Amino acid sequence: MNTVHLNKTTNQLVGTLAVPGDKSISHRSIIFGSLATGITEITNFLTGEDCLTTIAAFRAMGVDIEQTGERVIIRSKGYHELKEPNVPIDLGNSGTTARLLLGVLSGLDFHTTLFGDQSLTKRPMDRINDPLREMGALIDGREQGKYLPIAVRGQVLQPITFRPKVKSAQVKSGVLLAGLLAEGETTVIETTKTRDHTENMLQAFGAEVNVNGLAITIKGQQSLRGTAIQVPGDISSAAFFIVAALLVKDSEITIKDVGLNVTRTGILDAIETMGVSLDIAETAHVGGEVIGEINIQHQVAKASVIEGEIIPRMIDEIPILALLATQAEGRTVIKDAEELRFKETDRIQTVVDTLTAMGANIVATADGMVIEGPTPLHGATLDSYGDHRIGMMIAVASLIAEGTVILTDAAAINVSYPQFFDHLALLQNR
Ligand code: S3P
C-alpha cells in the first residue's frame, strides 16, 4: 500500500472504535519490562514499527521477549544481566527508542552502537546526550554526538539535578532512566509538564519516584519488579478519527478504551476551545493511567489561539488540528510549537506545504502556523514525507476534498497505526 488513491467520502462516519495501544506507553512497557526482574505481561501492545524496534533492541541485549500480536511476555533477570549486543542496533524511525535507550545504555557496563533511518539520523540527540554526559556518560557520534550513528560505552553514572531547556518527555525519561542506574538521587525539573508515563510506569514497576509539581526525583540503583501492563488506546491515533468525525457531515462515532491521561488530552481541550462539544467519560484507572470513552458528532468548529502549556500536551496532534482549523470559521493561530520542527519531519513545514497544496490558507511562523478558514480543499498528489502523522492527516483531509487525493508512501502510517485504513473503512461502511 505504498501509493493509495483516496476520494471524498459519500458516507458519514458511524460506529465504535478501539484505537491501537498507546505508542509512548508501549515503548516504555518494553523498556521497563526488560530492566525489571521477573515476568512482565503486556496487553494491547502497539504493533506499530516503532514499538517493534524497541523490542528488537532489547532482544539484541539478550532479553527474552515473546510477542504474539498485541500480547507480549517479557522474562528478564533485571538490568544487571543485559548483554552487550554484538551488532549495531537499528532504531528505524523511532525518536522515543533513541532518547530513552541512550539513557539506559549510558549506565550499563558495555558498548553499543545505534543508528537509524534517514529521518532519525537528522534528529537532534544532543538534548539527551548533554545531560547524560554531565552524569558521566561516555557517548560519541556524528558531530560530537549530536546525531546518529552514536556509540555508547556504559559507565557508573553520577546523579544530577537537571532543568531541561526543551519541553520533551523523551529527554526527561532518558535522564530518569539513567538516574535509575546511577548512584544517588537524580532530579528533573521541567518548566512545563510533559507526558508523565515514565513516572507512572516506574511506580507500577515498584520503583521509588517522587513527583512534586514539576520536579521528579528518582533514587538510583533500585531494582524494578516485573508486572502486568494494560496499554490504553492511543489518544494521538484517536485524534485522527475525532477530527474526521467532526469534519464529515452527519457523523457520530465513539472511541472506547482510550488513554485520557491529562498530560495527553490537550487535543480535546483545544477542540473544545474551538466551540466543539465532546462527550468524554472516564471508565477505568490502570497503572497510573486513566482510560475512557469519547463520543464525537459532526460539528463546525470556530477558530482559536492555541499556545502555551497546552502545546506539549498535544504536540503530536497539531498536524490534525491544523486540518480542522482549515474548516473552522476565522483565524486560528498556533504558537509555542517550535518543537514540531524536530519531529519525524519538520511538521510546521510539511503541514503547511501539504495543506497549501490542497487549497488551504495557511502560513508557517517560526513557532507554529496561522490558518484562515474555512477554505474548500481539493485533491492533489501528496507525499507522507515518510511521516506517519502527515500520512494520516492527508487521509483524513481526503474525506472532505473535492477530487482524488493520491497519497504516496502511505506505508509510513505503519509506524504508529498499521490498521488505520481498515478502521477508516469500518467507520465508513456501517
Ligand atoms: C514521546 C514524546 C514526544 C512525542 C513522541 C513520543 C514519548 O516527544 O512527540 O511522539 O513517548 O515520550 P518529545 O518528548 O521529544 O516532545
Phi, psi of 258 (to 5 degrees): -105, 145
Q: Is 140 helix (H, G, I), strand (E, B) or coil?
A: strand
Q: Indicate the pLDDT class of residue 430, thresholds 50, 70 and 90.
A: low
Across 410-420, average pLDDT = 98
Question: What is the CA(95)–ligand 1 centre distance, in A?
Answer: 8
In the sheet that holds 147-153, the strands lie side by side as 89-90, 111-115, 147-153, 138-141
Q: Are residues 238 and 196 in the same domain?
A: no
Domain that includes residue 68, residue range? 23-230
User: How far is the CA of 363 from the CAs of 333, 367, 368, in angstroms?
Assistant: 10, 11, 9
Q: Which helix (H) or strand (E) holds 219?
A: strand 215-219
Q: Are residues 60 and 163 in the same domain?
A: yes
Domain containing residue 199: CATH number: 3.65.10.10
In this predicted model, what pLDDT tens digit does every residue of 39-56 receive, in sequence order? 999 999 999 999 999 999
Q: Are residues 111 and 157 in the same domain?
A: yes
Question: What is the CA(92)–ligand 1 centre distance, in A?
Answer: 16
Q: Which helix (H) or strand (E) holds 334?
A: strand 330-334
CA–CA gap between residue 88 and residue 98 (Å, rounded) = 13
Pocket test for ligand 1, best of 126, 128, 173, 315 (most atoms within 8 A of CB): 315
Q: Are residues 288 and 392 in the same domain?
A: yes
Q: What ligand 1 atom has the least distance to the C-alpha of 236?
A: 10
Q: Are residues 115 and 192 in the same domain?
A: yes
Residue type, 36: A
Q: Which among 230, 261, 281 is the end of a domain?
A: 230
Q: Which residue CA neighbors atom 4 of ligand 1 most closely?
A: 316
Across 328-343, average pLDDT = 98
Report whether 237 belongs to an annotated binding site: no
Length of the chain equals 430
Report whether 95 belongs to an annotated binding site: yes
Q: What ligand 1 atom has the least distance to the C-alpha of 339?
A: 16
Q: Are residues 222 and 259 in the same domain?
A: no
Q: Which residue CA neighbors atom 15 of ligand 1 most closely?
A: 168
Q: Are residues 152 and 187 in the same domain?
A: yes
Question: What is the CA(415)–ligand 1 centre distance, in A?
Answer: 14
Evaluate the omega torsion of the peptide bond into residue 319 and state whether it is cis, within 30 degrees of 0.
Answer: no
Question: What is the CA(173)–ligand 1 centre distance, in A?
Answer: 10
Q: Which of 22, 316, 383, 387 is catalytic?
A: 316
Q: Indicate the pLDDT class of residue 429, thresholds 50, 70 and 90.
A: confident
In this predicted model, what pLDDT tens digit does every residue of 46-87 receive, in sequence order? 999 999 999 999 999 999 999 999 999 999 999 999 999 999
Q: Which residue CA neighbors atom 11 of ligand 1 most closely?
A: 24
> Is the model's pLDDT at 1 over the cut of 70?
no
Q: Are residues 224 and 242 in the same domain?
A: no
Q: Are residues 40 and 154 in the same domain?
A: yes
Annotated active-site residue 257? The verdict is no
When divided into structural domains, the chain yields a total of 2
Q: What ligand 1 atom has the least distance to the C-alpha of 342?
A: 15
Residue with cell 502556523: 369
Report whether 123 belongs to an annotated binding site: yes
Whole-number pLDDT of residue 11: 87
Question: What is the CA(123)–ligand 1 centre distance, in A?
Answer: 12
Whole-number pLDDT of residue 192: 97
In this predicted model, what pLDDT tens digit does every residue of 282-299 receive, in sequence order? 999 998 999 999 999 999
DSSP 418: T
Q: Are residues 255 and 343 in the same domain?
A: yes
In this structure, the residues whose C-beta lies within 6 A of any atom of ligand 1 are 24, 27, 96, 168-170, 173, 194-195, 315-316, 339
In this predicted model, what pLDDT tens digit does every residue of 198-238 receive, in sequence order? 999 999 999 999 999 999 999 999 999 999 999 999 999 99
Q: What ligand 1 atom has the least distance to the C-alpha of 168?
A: 14
Whole-number pLDDT of residue 208: 96
In this predicted model, what pLDDT tens digit does every residue of 387-398 receive, in sequence order? 999 999 999 999
More confident call, 1 vs 297: 297
Q: Which helix (H) or strand (E) holds 5?
A: strand 3-6
Question: What is the CA(5)–ligand 1 centre distance, in A?
Answer: 30
Q: Are residues 81 and 175 in the same domain?
A: yes
Report whether 77 belongs to an annotated binding site: no
In this predicted model, what pLDDT tens digit does every residue of 345-354 receive, in sequence order? 999 999 999 9
Q: What ligand 1 atom has the least distance to the C-alpha of 27?
A: 11
Q: Which among 205, 230, 255 is the end of a domain?
A: 230
CA–CA gap between residue 195 and residue 205 (Å, rounded) = 18
Pocket test for ligand 1, best of 170, 311, 320, 343 (most atoms within 8 A of CB): 170
Q: Which among 176, 205, 230 is the end of a domain?
A: 230
Report whether 116 belongs to an annotated binding site: no
Mean pLDDT score across all residues of the chain: 97
In this predicted model, what pLDDT tens digit does every residue of 3-25 receive, in sequence order? 999 999 888 999 999 999 999 99
Q: Are residues 275 and 294 in the same domain?
A: yes
